[in-house]
Structure 1
Amino acid sequence: MKRTFSTHLEHSFDQLNYVKFVMQRILDGLKIDEIKKEFIYKNPFGIKSENSRRTYINWIIRDYINGFKAKELMVFAKIIADDRINPQIKREILFWKNCLSDELMRSITTDFIFERYQKVKLFKKQELEDFISERVSLKPVTIHKCAIDYIALTEKIGFFSSNNEICQFNFYRPYIESVIFLVFYLLNSQKTPLQIIKAEDFKYLLISENELIKALKEIQSKGLISFAISGDVIRMDPKIEFEAVADAIKY
């Protein structure tokens, strides 16, 4: 039986500037209701429709604020709002949060994109539409829009390049700074080293277990963690506090 996934993927787009605006207001100490009012009534991005402004700010709150604990949100906000952090790193971290928040986006990324990235060099856009249609009860036009918007979003991150019918995977590797954030987020969440190695979070950025181990060794070389692995014995200890991650990944 098809599930009813919670999604607004058919309206997805590069939201970095909108999210950056909201995160700066959080750092300024504004409450959520105050941020909503400013976004809707002051209209900093010149969005013509008030209904659209309401929709966008509600999406941002749902996708990028809900689900975070207070300390997690502040670290996330510092990263997204800081002009000294590469915008591509921010987009990767935003996409990770998208996958946490949006069930359909998560399913596409882990069960379709990640699996194919490990095995094949390309896929047909129709294959993605077929994958979506097998899992959710949506109108064909909505399924097509979900597929097109997902492709546009992840193509900008660098997963693949596309033409009219085909998506060709790039040799994609996320920035190590994005991986640093995920590792410290999971450490702060009290995940064990084994749970971190096995965490689905890294699949959202197409990182396999072996690639993660290499990345952890690189993060250790930067003096941010202590890491060692021997068979099933894994040691992973932070050398900085979670609150210091934003400073650690600046230019």
Structure 2
Amino acid sequence: MRKFFGILLCLFAVLPLLGASLTVYKALQNAQDRNSNDAFVPKAWHNLRSDEMFPDRLVHQAAGSDIQLWARQGISKGTSCAEAFPAGYADSVMADSCKLVLRATYIDPGGDMAATIGLVVANSPAQATEIESEINEDQSEGLRETRVPTVRPFAVSGTAVAGWSDDMAIGGASGSIFIPDSPYTVAVTVGPTDSARTVGQLPEPWDFLGYQEKYPYRDVAKTLADSYARDLRKTVLGK
């Protein structure tokens, strides 16, 4: 009996040590995983497949509305910042901050609206924040202008967005990918797929109210930017 109790005492003495060792092991493993992920994040744009960066379907759900799945039409092979942004952006903050831009174009379920999603890879996390601020400021101030492009529309031949062009870019927005030290910013441009569709051009005497027609496009762009940023965050952190 004394031998039995002696064994029990040994077990009770060893169990806390095993527990402590397991805790230390898990802490080291978590630190290694975190460091590995921290190293992956800045290179995710290069290491992930294009269809992981831009899935076939993009979820869009505005407040109080049903979920919509926007369909991807194509992914741009070009990554130049000068090609992806209008001259006004490329010649200012983008010139020193933007490293490259990945773009893909989607259409809404009805085929009435197109959206080009741009994943901007900045030279640093701080510069990614600068780019987002620049886009948001221009969007807020430019609604009364003829058009307010952010990332330039990417047309895809043989699809419903074959004619998708700069002149059709109505509303835009940007979004943040909430990952520590992330060099990424999301830029979105939305507009009609029909080039004959005029937005913001009302006849007199209502012409001064034309800019209000742009608000729905900007709102859609903002919702898409936030949705895409959330999904991409999950994809990057899941690797």
TM-score of the superposed pair, with normalisation by structure 2: 0.21
Larger helix percent:
1
TM-score of the superposed pair, with normalisation by structure 1: 0.21
Q: Which has the higher contact order (CA 8 A, sep 6+)?
A: 1
Larger strand percent:
2
